Structure 1
Amino acid sequence: MTVIDVKYLYPYGAFSGKFPLTMTFNVTGVTSSSKVQVLAYNDETGQWEVVECTVGNGTVTAVLNSLSLVAFVVDGKTAGTINTATSTGSGSNTSTVSPKTGEGNTMMIVAMFAAIGLAGMTVVVAGRKRA
């Protein structure tokens, strides 16, 4: 069994639903014959719990007792199909490229300001020597 996706569920605005809550998720690569387990993280116990679920073609429906982290675990055959489709770019699963994050140009900006500062100090020192 392989974890293929983890989602964090949280309410958007005020939550007025009642538990248990039945939710259907789109899970690329699963079929009605796939062996799937849904795990929900219980914040109170700090443990992952197996959740009742049913599987369809591309969907997993689970009965949840809270909104938290949810992990989708599939059998090796399904996981292999999903990984193959992602790595080759074919099939129904398409891979996406994550945007670059962080501050990649920070050092360049710091070096630029240091050079400007050094040039400014050189002009000031040269002006004082002339005076």
Structure 2
Amino acid sequence: MALKKQLLTDLKAAMKAKDKVRKSTITLIRAAILQEEKDKQIDDLEDSDIEAIISKQYKQRKDSLKEFEKAGRDDLIEQTKAEMAIIEDYLPKQLSPDEIGTIVEDTIQEIGAESMKDMGKVMKAIMPKVKGKADGKVVNQIVREKLN
């Protein structure tokens, strides 16, 4: 719940500073959090749940950025990059590919996975360990490399 309070404090600061991009980005994040709370009928989400929502917001912008670059929309590219930079402030430090590789190797040994048939078991065991700290696509790619 500390993260939720931090977002509110930062929203107030952005409003005072008349920082439109930061204000709108934080407002969208807070709206996503409120929607999730209403959907689950919970008063306050845990920080880990809020981090997952923020991570999802970041991923959406990352996907949009690729499309904007294909379309040559420089105005939207700059805005999206600015929003991503703001969102990164609220995400936990992301794991490097080497750190993910170490976690993958340890998990493969724990489970005793030997081939691609064990991919589902490995992913199921790894994802809770790296939740919010690594992109699932990157983890999937590294698991594939290690199992081949």
Q: TM-score, normalised by structure 1?
A: 0.23
Larger radius of gyration: 1
Choose between structure 1 and 2: higher strand proportion. Answer: 1
Choose between structure 1 and 2: higher helix proportion. Answer: 2
